[in-house]
Each structure stands twice: as C-alpha cells, then as structure tokens.
C-alpha cells in the first residue's frame, strides 16, 4: 500500500533528484586516495591500485584512525567533516539519511560495501543510517563521476566502505562501550586472528537511543507526534582470507545490519481516509553485503575474479505496512597488464542482476546488466595520463557508453595540476519505472558531462589543494504535474515521472592541512602536538551552485560550506574538534534553520593513571556543543547538545 511514509520518501527522492549529477572524472582504475596524502591507493571495486602521485581523480581516503579521532557518531557526519559532502536527514540519528556529493542528488551517489553495490533499487539510493561506524577500516570517496568504472549512478561520486580485516599477525581483541544523552548506548566487540596463511575476523555491534521527535511541531503536513523517535541497530561482520601460495589470495567478507527506527507520519485508513498522525510508525531495514574474491599475478599480469551479493529488505508503516526488498547478484573478472614501466592496461567484465519485490506493485522480475571496461594509465615524464571507457548493456533501459580522460602534470616536486573530463548516466529507479500512477517504463536514464581542473601544492609540511568543477545533466528524471507530459492513460491524471529539464552543477573545493606551527603566521603551542597519523589542523571550503534549467537552486543544498577539524594532545589527553558552518539552505521556499555545528571529543589512555590498564582508554564527547536548533530537512529536527562517555579496550 502506498502509505504517506512511502509517498514522503518518494517525494524526497524526486526533490533531491532535481540536481542530477556532479563533477569531474578520474583515472583508469583508481578512486580513493586523498591527493593530500602520499601513500598507495587501494582502488574502488576491482580496479588496480594507483599511487597517490599518479592520481588524476579528486578523491579522499578516510582511515579508521581518522574516524577514531573525529567526534562523530554516524557515517554521514564523518563523510561531511572529512570529505565535504552535504547531508540531509529526516530527523535525528537512525532516521533516513542522504548524502549529496558536489550538489548531486542522493540517487547520483553510488555506495559500495567491500565492493558490493548496496541501497534500495526502488528509491534508487542508499540510506546512510543503515550502517554504523563500528567495524569500518576505511572509507574511500571519489568526488566526481565514476560511471566509466562502475556504471549507472556513479554521477556525483562513489563511496566505498571497507570493513575491518584481521590483524597482521597473532590474536587480538577489542571492545568498547558508551552511554550518552537521550538514553543512547553503544557496545561493540571484535576478535582478529592471523595464523599462518589464514586471517579471520569477527565483530558485533549494537547502537540504540530513545531519540527525539523526528518532526517539528506545526509541520506543514500535520505529522507531528510528541513521542520520541528512537532507533536501535545491530551489526554483524565476518571476514576471512587465505593465501594458498605466494602472490595469490582468496578473501570472503560478510556484513549484516538491522536498523529499527521510529518516525512521525500520517496514515489515511478506510473508511473515511482522514489523516491519523497518532499511530506508532516504525521502519525495520535489513542490509546484507557479502563477497568472495580471488586475486593473483605472475610477472606483468595480475588477475581478479569476484562474486557478490547485496540485499536491502525494508518494512515500514503504522497499521498499513509497506515492504520493499532489493536483491543484487554480482560477478566480475579483471585482467591487468603492466606492459612497460609506468604503463598499464586493464580489461574487466561485470555482471549485475537486480530483483525487486514489494507489496505495492508488480515488477517485471530481474533487471540484468552486463558491462565491459577498458582502462589505460601511462606516464610520460612529468605527465600522468589516465583513460577509461565502459559499455553497459541493460535489459530494461538499453545500452550506454561512458568515458573519462584525465591528466596530472607535476610542475615540480611540490606542485601538480589536474585536468579531467567525463560522461555519466543515472538509471531510473524501479519506482520511477513501475510505481502505479507514477512510474513510466519508457523513461530514459539521465546523462551528464563534466569538466574539472585542480591544483595541489605543498609548503614544507603543510599541503593544500583546490578543484574547480562543472557538471551538466540532461533528461533529468523528475515529477511532471502536467498529464500532457505523461502517457495517455487515466492512471496519470495527477502527473508522472518524466524526463524533463536539465541541471547545472558547478563549484569549488579548497582544502588544506598542516601540523601545529607549520602554517606561516600560526605559532606552535607549547606542549601541544598532533596525534599520531592525524594532521593537527584540517580546513575545507565547499562552494556549490546547483540549479535547474529555470535557474532555481536545488533543495537542501548550501551554497557555501566551511569545515574545520583539529586534533592534538594536551596533558595526556587526545583532543579533537569538528566545526561545520553552512550558508542558508532552502526547501519548498522556506529557509532551513541554523547550519552551524561544533562537536568536541577527548580521549585519555588509562595506563598512566591506572597500572595494568594500559590497554584501556576513556572517551568523552559533546555533540552539537553550541546547542544549536538545526533543521536537517524541512519540518524535521536534529538533537540539541548531547553528551557521551565511553571506554575502549584493545589487547591480545
């Protein structure tokens, strides 16, 4: 049944889709390493690794050490602080959460967990509330299009979440527990074992909070209910790897997460169909991502083969329940050939089968996609060239070819320039194709073209980079209220999904990081030094101008966003802060409330205080320390000031 919850989620998806693509291009087989960090990258999905000094993409790597040092309690806020994305959330923690990369809609962000595509194929996007931070090894964010590597939906960017793997050697354990405001709690435990040619890891986590009312009083739809809309989330992760002989590795991973959350809405039940907001509305979402991969090599050749499965099963409502289930089966193979020093070719084949089931309408069964990718990376003196192309052949929306070309030019040991160009596309979701009275099976995918230029520079131990980008999207999929734009049928008396209009997304990103005292004009502080592996200061500015073809700014996008993080030690405490400021965001002609947020954290190893407790640490955190009234989406509210205290243990 099409309840207000489903209707509301579809409306949010359509509103966000009004900014369909975003930015630049990348290299033949790389995506995630921050250009500010000199270390080898592990590429998104199954493409070859590429060193950071050869990377033409605008990409960021977030390590687990950075996550531990950041005062954030959820994945989306961590991405906003460290990768400059913008976040939209319909309430507090545990409520549906979307990420906009470079002004693109949530449907234009591809999310992978251990290389497996995840998210709802009916809504056409991933809910970042479905998984927590516990158990994440690293996050790789490609800011810009990746369709020529990953196919549909990698328009605004790609987010690859890699879960924790086994320790390098021996047996290790870790555990943590915390309590906080709104009766929030978190418990996690993990065991890692490496023995000979085998590595095994197992982890479980539980988060919960009574929360606050997701909707503000006096909302436009009359959905406000004063009860608290809390959540609880359980996560189980497992991984194992076997190296039968040198140069060969077989790896398997599994993630299972269950999120239960309450929300405010109204239900229009028979016989009078009058709105009833007093029911207890809730959503239960089960997310699964599993994969099996083999990789090996001999001489100049490397090869990989993989199988993966992703599933999202969501049931929501009050008395009338909606259920949407997405199943994905994946397979792929890749061959890499380094035929000369600094020159490599990659050929890859990928198969994706998507199946959707729901109690609201009938679907045509499986949507199948086959793709071939060819990528080249080469170095000519100070110039690094990257080219890649892909052809997708889909059983529903036909064939699409995409490509990217990039160049990185080292002007010296401390300065580099980047130029990139790319084409992209977004596939229509199952709701946009088949939902009764809305979906149109003949919809075309959105298509985009993007350009980007960037500069990177080092001054001693300080580093900065800037990227200027533009992305134009055609055949934008949005709601058309005029029945004349719909198929001739009484089912579309109130409009339909249609390819209407265009969008232009453009902007500027500037980032800098430096240790204390390394920035000219900024003196060092006696007794204060950067935490190990984490820059003392990190500053970022994200300018986004996202408009439709009528010149209207796309909803929930801030034109300007500043973010500042600091980490240092003082008197044995590891101190961290994260400050975010956004300019005015608008939705439905209304300016959303304050976009300023300050989070603080202090971590203290207990060994110096308590003999025998050297494996323990104390964590104190204050979220929204300024007690701001923040409106993450129109008529929704975020928690005010929150306190957390916790203990962490790691040992053998």
- Number of C-beta neighbours around residue 300 at 10 A: 11
Q: Which domains does the chain have, with CATH numbers?
A: 4-651 (2.40.170.20)
What pLDDT digit, counting tens, does each position of 158-172 carry?
A: 999 999 876 656 678
Q: 554 near 523, Cβ under 8 Å? A: no
Q: What is the pLDDT of residue 535?
A: 58
Q: Which two tokens stand for residue 88?
A: 């939209």
- Look at residues 642, 574, 651, 652 and name the one whose alpha carbon lies nearest to residue 178: 642
DSSP SS3 for 129: helix
What pLDDT digit, counting tens, does each position of 28-56 carry?
A: 333 333 333 334 464 654 477 777 777 88
Residue 148 has pLDDT above 50, yes or no: yes
Q: What is the pLDDT of residue 19?
A: 34
Residue 71 has pLDDT above 50, yes or no: yes
- Look at residues 209, 103, 109 and name the one whose alpha carbon lies nearest to residue 152: 109
Residue 4 has pLDDT above 70, yes or no: no
Q: What is the pLDDT of residue 44?
A: 53
Question: pLDDT exceeding 70 applies to what percent of the chain?
Answer: 89
Q: What is the pLDDT of residue 584?
A: 94
**CA 356 from centroid of its chain's CA atoms:** 22
pTM for the whole structure = 0.90
What pLDDT digit, counting tens, does each position of 442-458 carry?
A: 999 999 999 999 999 99
Q: 587 near 555, Cβ under 8 Å? A: yes
Q: 594 near 617, Cβ under 8 Å? A: no
Q: 59 near 26, Cβ under 8 Å? A: yes
Over residues 217-244, the mean pLDDT reads 95
> Which residues in 11-31 are b (16+ Cβ under 10 Å) and which e?
ebbbbbbbbbbbbbbbbbbbb
Work out whether the CA dihedral 114, 117, 120, 126 comes out positive or negative.
Answer: positive
Q: 126 near 118, Cβ under 8 Å? A: yes
Work out whether the CA dihedral 145, 148, 149, 151 comes out positive or negative.
Answer: positive
How many residues in total does the chain contain?
652
Q: 89 near 215, Cβ under 8 Å? A: no
Over residues 340-357, the mean pLDDT reads 95
> Which residues in 223-245 are b (16+ Cβ under 10 Å) and which e?
bbbeeebbbbbbbebbbbbeeee
Question: pLDDT exceeding 90 applies to what percent of the chain?
Answer: 76
Q: 580 near 553, Cβ under 8 Å? A: no
Q: What is the pLDDT of residue 30?
A: 33
Q: 462 near 485, Cβ under 8 Å? A: no
What integer best gives the mean pLDDT of the chain?
Answer: 88
Residues 6+ away with beta carbon under 8 Å from 186: 132, 134, 176, 177, 178, 205, 206, 207, 208, 646
Highest mean pLDDT among 17-26, 253-262, 495-504: 253-262
Residue 648 has pLDDT above 50, yes or no: yes
Rounded Cα–Cα distance for residues 483 and 494 (Å): 6
Q: What is the pLDDT of residue 530?
A: 42
DSSP state of 133: S
DSSP state of 445: P
Rounded Cα–Cα distance for residues 509 and 548 (Å): 21
Q: What is the pLDDT of residue 43?
A: 63
Q: What is the pLDDT of residue 168?
A: 59
Q: What is the pLDDT of residue 307?
A: 97
Q: What is the pLDDT of residue 54?
A: 79
271: preceding bond cis by omega (within 30 degrees): yes
Rounded Cα–Cα distance for residues 391 and 190 (Å): 41
What pLDDT digit, counting tens, does each position of 112-140 carry?
A: 999 999 999 999 999 999 999 998 998 99
Q: 47 near 30, Cβ under 8 Å? A: yes
Rounded Cα–Cα distance for residues 617 and 385 (Å): 46
Over residues 255-272, the mean pLDDT reads 91
Residues 6+ away with beta carbon under 8 Å from 490: none
**Residue in the block written with tokens 């979701």:** 429
Q: Which two tokens stand for residue 357?
A: 């089931």
Q: What is the 3-state secondary structure (H, E, C) of 78-118?
A: HHHHHHCCEEEECCCCCCCEEEECCCCCHHHEEEEECCEEC
Q: What is the pLDDT of residue 103?
A: 94
What pLDDT digit, counting tens, does each position of 534-579 carry?
A: 458 999 999 999 999 889 999 999 999 999 999 988 888 999 999 9
Q: 539 near 518, Cβ under 8 Å? A: no
Over residues 205-229, the mean pLDDT reads 95
Identify the band that residue 180 occupies on the pLDDT scale cut at 50, 70 and 90: very high
Q: How much of the chain is helix, strand and coil, in % rounded to 5?
A: 10, 55, 40
Q: How far is CA 99 from CA 17, 158, 286, 426, 548, in A?
A: 12, 11, 20, 16, 19
In 38-82 the beta strands, taken as DSSP E runs, fall at 59-63
Which of 47-61, 393-407, 498-512 shows the lowest mean pLDDT across its residues?
47-61
Highest mean pLDDT among 59-68, 87-96, 605-614: 87-96
Identify the band that residue 501 occupies on the pLDDT scale cut at 50, 70 and 90: confident
Over residues 491-506, the mean pLDDT reads 93
Q: Which two tokens stand for residue 74?
A: 């959820």
Q: CA torsion angle for 218, 223, 229, 235 (degrees, to 10)? A: -130
């Amino acid at each position: 049944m099409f309840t207000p919850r489903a209707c509301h989620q579809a409306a949010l998806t359509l509103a966000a889709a009004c900014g369909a693509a975003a930015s630049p291009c990348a290299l033949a087989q790389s995506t995630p390493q921050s250009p500010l960090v000199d270390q080898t990258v592990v590429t998104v999905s199954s493409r070859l690794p590429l060193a950071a000094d050869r990377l033409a993409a605008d990409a960021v790597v977030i390590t687990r050490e950075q996550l531990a040092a950041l005062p954030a309690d959820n994945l989306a806020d961590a991405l906003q602080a460290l990768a400059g994305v913008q976040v939209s959330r319909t309430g507090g923690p545990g409520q549906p959460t979307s990420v906009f990369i470079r002004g693109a809609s949530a449907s234009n962000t591809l999310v992978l967990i251990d290389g497996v595509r995840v998210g709802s194929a009916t809504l056409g996007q991933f809910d970042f509330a479905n998984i927590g931070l516990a158990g994440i090894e690293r996050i790789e964010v490609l800011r810009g299009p990746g369709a020529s590597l990953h196919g549909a939906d990698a328009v605004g960017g790609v987010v690859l979440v890699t879960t924790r793997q086994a320790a390098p050697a021996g047996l290790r354990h870790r555990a943590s527990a915390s309590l906080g405001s709104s009766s929030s709690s978190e418990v996690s435990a993990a065991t890692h074992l490496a023995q000979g040619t085998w590595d095994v890891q197992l982890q479980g986590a539980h988060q919960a909070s009574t929360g606050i009312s997701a909707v503000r009083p006096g909302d436009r739809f009359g959905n406000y209910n004063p009860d608290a809309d809390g959540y609880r989330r359980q996560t189980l992760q497992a991984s194992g790897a076997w190296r039968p002989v040198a140069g060969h590795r077989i790896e398997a991973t599994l993630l299972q997460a269950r999120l239960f959350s309450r929300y405010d809405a109204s239900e229009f039940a028979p016989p009078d169909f009058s709105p009833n907001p007093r029911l207890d509305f809730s959503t239960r979402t089960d997310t699964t991502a599993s994969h099996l991969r083999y990789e090996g090599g001999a001489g100049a050749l490397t090869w990989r083969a993989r199988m993966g499965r992703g599933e999202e099963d969501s049931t929501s409502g009050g008395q009338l329940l909606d259920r949407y289930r997405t199943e994905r089966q994946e397979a792929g193979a890749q061959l890499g050939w380094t035929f000369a020093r600094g020159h490599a070719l990659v050929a890859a084949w990928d198969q994706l089968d998507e199946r959707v089931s729901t109690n609201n309408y009938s679907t045509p069964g499986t949507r199948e996609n086959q793709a071939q990718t060819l990528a080249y990376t080469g170095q000519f003196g100070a110039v690094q060239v990257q080219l890649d192309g892909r052809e997708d052949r889909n059983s529903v929306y036909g064939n699409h070819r995409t490509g990217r070309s990039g160049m990185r030019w080292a002007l010296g040991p401390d300065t580099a320039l980047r130029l990139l160009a790319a084409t992209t596309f977004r596939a229509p979701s199952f709701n946009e194709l088949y939902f009764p009275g809305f979906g149109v099976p003949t919809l075309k995918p959105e298509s985009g073209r993007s350009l980007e230029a960037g500069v990177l520079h080092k001054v001693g131990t300080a580093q900065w980079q800037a990227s200027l980008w533009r992305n134009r999207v055609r055949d934008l999929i949005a709601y058309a209220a005029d029945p004349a734009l719909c198929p001739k049928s009484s089912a579309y008396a109130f409009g339909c999904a249609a390819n209407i209009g265009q969008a232009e997304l453009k902007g500027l990103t500037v980032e800098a990081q430096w240790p204390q005292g390394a920035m000219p004009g900024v003196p060092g502080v006696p007794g204060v030094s950067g935490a190990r592996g984490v820059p003392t200061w990190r500053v970022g500015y994200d300018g986004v101008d996202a408009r439709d073809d009528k010149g209207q700014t796309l909803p929930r996008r801030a034109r300007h966003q500043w973010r500042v993080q600091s980490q240092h030690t003082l008197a044995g405490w590891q101190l961290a802060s994260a400050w975010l400021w956004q300019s005015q965001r608008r939705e439905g002609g209304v300016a959303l409330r304050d976009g300023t947020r300050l989070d603080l954290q202090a971590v203290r190893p207990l060994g110096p205080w308590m003999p025998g407790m050297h494996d323990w640490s104390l964590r104190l955190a204050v979220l929204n320390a300024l007690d701001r009234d923040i409106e993450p989406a129109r008529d929704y509210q975020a928690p005010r000031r929150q306190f957390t205290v916790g203990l962490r243990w790691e040992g053998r």
